[in-house]
């Protein structure tokens, strides 16, 4: 299966003079189904962006399955705000011919814009082979909140092979780059230096020009988690967990330590 979905936003001025963000492009191809949505439960990380555009990504078919080639393009226009979420977790499955599945996501966030991307976990089922490649281009003055979560197999199951690559550039210069190989196709992935006996791993990357004069300091967090400042107005919360619930608690706890706006606690 091959699919290419596109999503773009823009900032517009209403007749009463107020500004709001709206979706200008929404193109879906199964299994990448993009759907407009509205604010639901409390969104502490978006408490200061009431006029954001909100979109959910739903799975229109099973997978990715080995051999699938999926692509998603996101363009967040100047001064607009986009919150992108998933309907459910993504189950990575093997294909009949042993070919890897691939997901390529290209993101551009313009000056003054904010992109909040909170996907649900990817689950690496036994014998899967998936390559997940995410590339983010941030213009100067852009803000980003990006969460990644990976579960190592279903209950009682050994994981397949997953290769994750995240590359983020800010103002044309490299900001953050991570390559992570997990599963039978990667040597040493289950050593104490990588995941050990943990079954879940993830991170939150936050970029905010408000930190230009100094990012929050490095600190250990509850559980197997830490907050790490980057060279630039950005911090990384990295965590391991026994399961998806423990991982999410660690990541949410790290987010709260950042303070407003990203770590704002709801009333």
88-142 pLDDT, tens per residue? 999 999 998 889 999 999 999 999 999 999 999 999 999 999 999 999 999 999 9
**Is residue 186 one of the residues assigned to a domain?**
yes
Q: Is 83 exposed, middle or buried (0-12, 13-18, 19+ CB in 10 A)?
A: buried
At 267 the pLDDT is 33
**Is residue 211 one of the residues assigned to a domain?**
no
pTM: 0.92
**Is residue 238 one of the residues assigned to a domain?**
no
**Is residue 215 one of the residues assigned to a domain?**
no
**Total number of domains constituting the chain:** 1
Say how far apart CA 195 and CA 256 lie, in whole Å.
Answer: 24
**Is residue 210 one of the residues assigned to a domain?**
no
Task: Give the structural domain span for 35.
Answer: 2-197
**Is residue 49 one of the residues assigned to a domain?**
yes
**Is residue 150 one of the residues assigned to a domain?**
yes
| Dihedral angle, C-alpha 194, 131, 142, 217, nearest 10 ° | 0
pLDDT in tens, 53-82: 999 999 877 779 999 999 999 999 999 999
Cβ proximity of 140 and 110 under 8 Å:
no
Main-chain dihedrals φ then ψ at residue 230, nearest 5 degrees:
-110, 165
**Is residue 232 one of the residues assigned to a domain?**
no
């Amino acid at each position: 299966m091959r699919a290419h979905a596109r999503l773009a936003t823009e900032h517009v001025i209403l007749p009463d003079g107020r500004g709001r963000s709206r979706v200008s492009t929404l193109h879906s191809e199964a299994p990448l189904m993009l759907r407009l949505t509205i604010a639901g439960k409390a969104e502490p990380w978006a408490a200061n962006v009431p006029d954001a555009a909100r979109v959910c990504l739903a799975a229109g078919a099973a997978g990715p399955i080995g051999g699938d080639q999926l692509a998603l393009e996101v363009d967040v226009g100047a001064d607009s705000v986009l919150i992108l979420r998933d309907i459910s977790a993504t189950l990575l499955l093997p294909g009949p011919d042993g070919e890897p599945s691939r997901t390529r996501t290209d993101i551009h966030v313009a000056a003054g814009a904010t992109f909040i991307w909170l996907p649900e976990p990817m689950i690496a089922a036994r014998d899967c082979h998936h390559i997940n490649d995410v590339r983010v281009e941030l213009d100067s003055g852009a803000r980003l909140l990006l969460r990644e979560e990976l579960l190592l197999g279903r209950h009682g199951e050994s994981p397949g092979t997953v290769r994750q690559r995240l590359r983020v550039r800010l103002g044309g210069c490299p900001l953050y780059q991570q390559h992570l190989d997990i599963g039978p196709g990667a040597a040493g992935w289950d050593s104490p230096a990588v995941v050990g006996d943990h079954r879940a791993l993830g991170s939150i990357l936050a970029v905010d020009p408000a930190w230009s004069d100094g990012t929050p300091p490095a600190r250990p967090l509850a559980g197997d988690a830490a907050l790490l400042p980057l060279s630039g107005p950005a911090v990384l919360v990295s965590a391991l967990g026994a399961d998806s619930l423990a991982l999410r608690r660690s990541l949410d706890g790290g987010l709260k330590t950042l303070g407003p706006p990203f770590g704002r606690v709801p009333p």
